[in-house]
Chains A and B, each alone.
Chain A
Amino acid sequence: MGTQEALEAGEGPPATLDPARNALTSGVGSPAVVAEEPHGEQRLSAARIKRRPLAAGLSGASAIVLILGLLLTGALAFACLEVYESNESRLLKLRVRELGLVLGTAVPSVQSPLEGAAELADATAGNPQKFRGFIAPYVGAGRQYSSVSLWPLGAGRLAPSVVVGTPPLLASMPGRAATFFHRAARDDLLSVTGFLNAATPSLGYEFNVPGAGHGFAVYAEKPLPADRRSPREKDSAFSDLHYAVYLGRTQKPAALLVTNLSRLPPSGRRATQAIPFGDAVLTVLVTPNGSLGGSFFESLPWVIAIGGVLSSLLSALVTERLAQGRRQAEQLALALDSVASANREMYAEQRSIAQTLQHALLPDALPSIAGLQASALYVPAGSGIDIGGDWYDIVPVGPGRALLLVGDVSGHGLKAATMMASTRHAALAYAAREHRPAAVLRMLSDFVSAAPHEHFATLLCILVDVPRHELTIATAGHPPPLLIEGGHGRFLEIAPGPPIGVSAGDYSETTLTVAPGATLLGFTDGLVERRGEMIDVGMERLLRAATARELPLAELMAELARILSSGHHQDDTAIMGVRWLT
């Protein structure tokens, strides 16, 4: 609904009034229905807000955060595990090499007693006493060897000439002895052989002075530990390793010399190293006893994995909370929005009802007066739903004569509207009986002042004689009308009587003649009154706007309403204008 509605004389009710009427009829029953709606909506939304998070589960954002977090954690943990594994493997290789070096250094300690004895035998032509005396400290239970024997080489039959300790196993195996000594003579290394299937599994060592093919060989045997088990030495530099030592380049159980592994072959990480040992080769197999790099690095991937999963869950939870908060805020905003929009509708409807009532109290159409163009305009206040108290009427009172009425009841609301309605209808009745403006006001004043009122009405009453170009004006405290003649305007200020409803006052009237084509504008104070300024300033503003350019009457009035009621328009305004056609 527009803010301005014009009534043109002789054109019937403008179409714009009809929707207002419809709004009145359709709107009467509806406020109660409308009033229920916002509360219902609010409760519904509140319930939805509370229920939603339970049903919704993880939001998309939280799921993404969780998945990304878990992926990152997995990747980190995997990378860490890889680094750990490769580090452990590298460490194990280093350790097995160290162990090989340590084992290798055992060769001289094995070899030197045998070497010493061989040189002594060569020097003493195999003297048994000297040999026995030299080697005896090395032989026996708990000593280095269980048996040491002296074998003359180059003789016909291969057999020991002197035996210290237990009889050598090799002596009972002439064929093997021949092969062994033959091989042993070829190099200047400690020769090693194993009797691993014997009743007392043993290792045999031989040393002969190189080049003395005819001299003596010293042969020693040392039993292997029972079950090949070696107790693990806690203080050893290699206590972090499990190991197995094999004779030869093999890891067959049959070649096992010694181990502290409970199970062979071992599972998990392992490293092997072949170590020259005399003329033989030992194969060392090691597995780590725990983590070589330290337990922290062993558990680091797990720390990362567990920490990562926890922090991912936490991040997802926080994200979920944030998402939830946002959802709730959005829902709340939506709920508030719907409440606000319902309120707006309600307000607009009430306002529309108020305006419709106002229009119902205004004339549907202005009567046509010969030779006079008439137009009226009602502009509701910029805000508020109260019914204003402005009205206008044109009452034909004879050929070429009419009474113009522009009134304004102080205040707003139902009481003001009631007073306006009664004053207006009384004015219409008196106008029909008496044409003199002052008389109309006097009768009206007597009628209204009979009862005490909180409100009063200002009223402008003008008798227009069209053919005689004559105006007769009386006013009950109403702003003076504006007369425009030939592009010049002036306010017709006449001595005002008191407003209707104040006291049974006396009213005077003034008659004047106007120029052909003159325009007369009656209006209510809403058009000119502004807070904090003299009403004359507003009237001057109106005068300037009204005489700025020549416009058709209806356009002029619409223009004035547009200019003067823009901005903080707090009061209703009615404007009525007439223009002499000649």
Chain B
Amino acid sequence: MADVESNGDAAQLAVTGTVGSDGLALLAVCGEVDISNVGQLSEAVDAALQEGASAIAFDLGQLAFIDSAGLAMLAAAARRVDSLTLKDPSPIVARVIELSGLSPVLPIQP
């Protein structure tokens, strides 16, 4: 197990994560993701991939807002792993993903 952590303060965002031996990275995204801090999320994904992650599950239970730059980053991450799923997104986030036509790319794990 390895810790992947990233913390910044442009818009309040904290990403914490672990990469399991099965290659599944669990990344918890807390706060807001927008163009000002999307790089932070990107770094967390990079770190997870370096740890050998082949699948990523984002825990979005504490994510209050994500803009199109954040969604683009998630969509880009989806292309780099075998499987990418979202857990527990708020209705606001889920609706944005739905309207953006990203549901097939960013499947929400029931």
Contacts and interface: CB of A to CB of B under 8 A. Distances in A.
A301 interface: no
Given A534-B92, A535-B92, A408 B101 contact: no
A531 B31 CA distance: 11
Interface residues of A, number: 33
A340 B101 CA distance: 45
B99 A480 contact: yes
Interface stretch (B2-10, B13-21, B22-30, B65-73): B65-73
A410 B69 contact: yes
Given A480-B99, A496-B100, A534-B92, A502 B75 contact: yes
Nearest to B100: A477
Q: Determine the main DSSP class of A at the interface with B.
A: loop
Contact of B76 (A453, A497, A571): A453
Contact of A536 (B38, B73, B79, B95): B95
Nearest to B70: A410
Given A477-B100, A499-B101, A532-B65, A454 B32 contact: no
B57 interface: no
Bin chain B's interface residue count.
Answer: 20 to 34
Interface in A494-525: 495-499, 501-503, 505, 525
Interface in B55-104: 64-65, 67-69, 71-73, 75-76, 78-79, 91-92, 95-96, 98-102, 104
B3 to A, nearest CB: 25
Contact of A502 (B42, B92, B98, B102): B102
**Which 9 residue pairs across A and B have the least CB separation, nearest first?**
A496-B101, A477-B101, A410-B68, A477-B100, A410-B72, A411-B69, A502-B75, A456-B72, A498-B101
29 contacts: A410-B69, A410-B72, A411-B68, A411-B72, A452-B79, A453-B72, A454-B72, A454-B73, A454-B76, A455-B72, A456-B75, A458-B100, A458-B101, A479-B99, A480-B99, A496-B99, A496-B100, A498-B75, A499-B68, A499-B102, A502-B78, A503-B75, A503-B104, A505-B101, A529-B96, A533-B92, A534-B92, A535-B92, A536-B95
Interface of B: 32, 35, 38, 42, 64-65, 67-69, 71-73, 75-76, 78-79, 91-92, 95-96, 98-102, 104-105
